[in-house]
């Protein structure tokens, strides 16, 4: 029963995130229409996802120990270090976007054009927030080394990877060859881009880029920038 409930909650999270990807604003002309037409659906998606994610973690906390133990639990600082590093990694990427005053556009909560970041944390990997979350999730295995942890974390990880892949498609569409060069020089999720940081700078000029305005939307974009 523990396996069924735990995996069921994680699978529900995966289903909600995957089958509602079309509700997510994706930049350019489509982003404006998505935010205007379906704000309620997008908000509901976020709320339901948050509830399911919290439920999955709560279930692991209270019931994972009732399933098969895979190896002796690690204790002390070593048990929490990977998760702490993962959380810090994600927060640093989030702070970088926030400091650039592009957080609403980055999260799809604004009709403004999307911005492509290629420096800082985004020179290490193309999706540093997802990378940090994945490290934090799998770090749980050190303190909760149970079979249920593996199943739940694997399903949650699949969800994040699918979302990152979906974002890749929209970014290629919005930024074209510029993003293709970024893909060629910076890894997808594993953050070893520091080994090729000079290639990133050479390929993209070391600066962020803004998606082109949609046809007929230039006046709206200029007005928005003027109000900031």
Q: How far apart are CA 145 and CA 133, in angstroms?
A: 18
Domain residue spans of the chain = 2-212+220-227
Question: What is the predicted pLDDT for the residue at 222?
Answer: 32
pLDDT at 189 over 80: yes
The helix-helix angle for 147-175 and 177-185 (nearest 10°) equals 140
Q: How far apart are CA 180 and CA 72, in angstroms?
A: 44
The per-residue pLDDT of the chain, averaged, comes to 79
pLDDT at 25 over 90: no
Question: What is the predicted pLDDT for the residue at 21?
Answer: 78
Question: What is the predicted pLDDT for the residue at 68?
Answer: 93
Q: Taking a C-beta distance cutoff of 8 angstroms, is the pair 52, 13 a contact?
A: yes
Q: Quick one: which H or E segment has residue 58?
A: helix 39-63
Instruction: Scan for tokens 């399933």, then name that residue.
Output: 67
For residue 220, what pLDDT band results from cuts at 50, 70 and 90?
very low
pLDDT at 4 over 60: yes
Tell me the sheet residues that pair with 146.
69
Q: Quick one: which H or E segment has residue 224?
A: helix 218-227
> Could you tell me which residues come within 8 angstroms of residue 226 by beta carbon, excluding any fewer than 6 positions away?
none
> Could you tell me which residues come within 8 angstroms of residue 84 by beta carbon, excluding any fewer than 6 positions away?
136, 139
pLDDT tens digits, 101-141: 887 767 666 656 667 888 899 999 999 999 999 999 999 99
Instruction: Return the higher-pLDDT residue of 43 and 12.
Output: 12
Question: What is the predicted pLDDT for the residue at 93?
Answer: 94
Q: What is the pTM of this model?
A: 0.79
Q: Region 146-168: what's the mean pLDDT?
A: 94
Percentage with pLDDT > 70 across the chain: 71
Q: Quick one: which H or E segment has residue 116?
A: strand 115-116
Question: What is the predicted pLDDT for the residue at 35?
Answer: 41
Q: Give the lowest-confidence range in 38-47, 157-166, 182-191, 211-220.
A: 211-220
Of the candidates 110, 113, 117, 65, the one whose C-alpha atom is nearest the C-alpha of residue 94 is: 117
For residue 33, what pLDDT band results from cuts at 50, 70 and 90?
very low
Question: What is the predicted pLDDT for the residue at 115?
Answer: 77
Q: Region 167-178: what's the mean pLDDT?
A: 88
pLDDT at 26 over 60: no
E-strand ranges in 158-221 read 209-210
Is 69 in a helix, a strand, or coil? strand
Count how many Cα atoms sit within 13 Å of the Cα of residue 154 in the half-sphere of its side chain.
9
């Amino acid at each position: 029963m523990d396996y069924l409930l735990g995996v069921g909650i994680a699978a529900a999270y995966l289903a909600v995130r995957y089958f509602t990807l079309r509700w997510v604003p994706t930049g350019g002309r489509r982003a404006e229409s998505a935010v205007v037409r379906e704000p309620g659906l997008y908000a509901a998606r976020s709320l339901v996802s948050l509830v399911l994610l919290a439920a999955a973690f709560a279930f692991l906390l209270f019931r994972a120990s009732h399933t098969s133990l895979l190896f002796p639990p690690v204790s002390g600082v070593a048990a929490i270090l990977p998760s702490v590093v993962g959380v810090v990694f994600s927060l640093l990427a989030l702070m970088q976007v926030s400091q650039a005053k592009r957080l609403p556009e980055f999260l799809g909560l604004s009709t403004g054009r999307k911005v492509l970041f290629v420096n800082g944390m985004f020179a290490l990997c193309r999706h540093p927030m997802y990378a940090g979350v994945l490290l934090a999730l799998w770090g749980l295995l050190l303190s909760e080394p149970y079979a249920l942890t593996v199943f739940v974390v694997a399903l949650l990880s699949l969800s994040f990877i699918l979302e990152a892949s979906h974002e890749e498609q929209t970014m290629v569409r919005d930024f074209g060859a510029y993003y293709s060069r970024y893909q060629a020089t910076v890894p997808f999720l594993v953050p070893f881009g520091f080994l090729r940081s000079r290639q990133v700078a050479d390929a993209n000029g070391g600066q962020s880029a803004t998606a082109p305005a949609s046809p007929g939307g230039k006046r709206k974009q200029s007005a928005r920038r003027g109000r900031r």
